[in-house]
Amino acid sequence: MADSPFDDAFAGLGGASAQRRAAYDRFRSLGLPSRRQEDWKYTDLAGLDRARLAPAATGPAVSAPVAGLDGPLLVLTNGRVDADASRMGDLPAGLEIVTDGEPASTGADNALAALNAAFAPQAVHVRVADGAAIDRPLQLLYRVTDADACAAHVRVRVALGARAALTLVERFEGDASAYWQNQVLDVAGETGSTLIHALFQAEGPRSVHSGLTRVALAGGARYRRFDLQTGAEIARNEVHVAATEAGAHADIRVAQMARAGQSLDTRSYLDHRVADTTSDQGARAVVDAQGRTAFQGKVHVARDAQRTDAQQQSKAILLDETAEANTKPELEIYADDVVCAHGATVGQLDAAALFYLVQRGLPLAEAKALLIEAFVADLFGDLDDDTLRDAFVAAAQVWFGKEPS
């Protein structure tokens, strides 16, 4: 990689700290992930290695929060905190947000995380005090604009104290620039804490999006993720959850909606390290002509993790014979007293249901949209926040050209 554009971009930083240099050296030793690696067989990032990606400059902030949500709003434009566009006054008691300092160099064995630590201009630290239940969602909006051939790297850390509770809403969006947005989110949930994590990925049509979420759960902690992927030309999201103490639980719900030329890939890794932990994963994909999705869900149960309950279900609907949906469930179990199962189906819209709706006067396109909406909305049915649930449905409606209701 001596002559790669990443070297040029890093040299362009000038005066990088020892921590950043160590992170970049780690990236160089790992190299950019390729399709030769089993976990990356569905996503091709080779174009990033050929592009000339400079760090994105500050651009105009044109983001808008999720409709109907109040509470704190932090906007990051082209990877940098935009104080003028944010709404950070009067934070709820028990919530602290710090936006200075370098990212910690925690790339470990993940190349994109190491590159993120080398380039992210700052780190966002969110802390919730012991026993604090934050009653308004915290919104983080990541916007890329006017950034052709540029990369925006964002690093966020969320620390939940014992019995703390927070709803975190993340939205990724961008214009028609050919950019790359690379985010790392680290979550530490202490005993009895709860994080509800809603994610809307609506990046620009020529962009590459990569996201890595790493979660560590202590005893009785809960992590609930609701994720809708509709944007980017190429998107790769990874979710790693480690259940480290008894009673920890993780829910993951991800919906992917891909059109022609899009490749949307999600990989989850649920690591049950101790006894008496649980997880439940549900994935839905809707794929139009010449679109592609992939859901790779792995559950690891350690030898001492007796009485683990881990469930996984993936469903996909193909809207055209040229659509492609890949699903790869994995169970790696070393304990003998567990309840673990997975299932996967790939099919088409229910012909009988379509016929029924059309016979009752609904145009075919509208009937298809109604069935798709129901298919996606069902995934978010157990989200308690009505405003967030409606926002997911509205985003799905926009995807198939229906005016949000």
Residues 3-38: b if buried by 16+ CB within 10 A, e if exposed: ebbbeebbeeeeebeeebebbbebbbebebbeeeee
Flag whether 300 is in a domain.
no
Q: How many domains is the chain partitioned into structurally?
A: 2
Residue at a domain's end among 245, 273, 293: 245
Flag whether 296 is in a domain.
no
> Over 60: is that where the pLDDT of 64 sits?
no
Residue at a domain's end among 211, 245, 279: 245
- Segment 40-45 mean pLDDT: 94
pLDDT digits (tens, 9 = 90+) for 209-218: 999 999 999 9
Domain of residue 152 covers 5-245
pLDDT digits (tens, 9 = 90+) for 298-332: 999 999 999 999 999 999 999 999 999 999 999 99
Flag whether 301 is in a domain.
no
Same domain membership, residue 362 and residue 241 = no
pLDDT digits (tens, 9 = 90+) for 85-109: 999 988 999 999 999 777 766 667 8
- Looking at residue 67, its pLDDT comes to 63
Flag whether 144 is in a domain.
yes
Flag whether 262 is in a domain.
no
Flag whether 198 is in a domain.
yes
Same domain membership, residue 235 and residue 358 = no
Name the burial class of residue 352, with classes exposed (0-12), middle (13-18) and buried (19+) by CB atoms within 10 angstroms of its CB: exposed
Same domain membership, residue 197 and residue 75 = yes
* Count of CB atoms situated within 10 Å of the CB of 83: 11
CA–CA distance, 269 with 22 (Å, rounded to integer)? 27
CA–CA distance, 405 with 397 (Å, rounded to integer)? 8
Flag whether 32 is in a domain.
yes
Residue at a domain's end among 210, 230, 245: 245
Same domain membership, residue 373 and residue 232 = no
Flag whether 120 is in a domain.
yes
Strands (E), 230-357: 234-243, 249-258, 263-272, 278-287, 292-301, 309-318, 324-333, 339-347
pTM, 2 dp: 0.94
Closest CA to 243 of 213, 219, 226, 225: 219
Write the DSSP symbol of residue 91: P
pLDDT digits (tens, 9 = 90+) for 174-202: 999 899 999 999 999 999 999 999 999 99
CA–CA distance, 126 with 187 (Å, rounded to integer)? 9
The residue assigned the tokens 């009785």 is 220
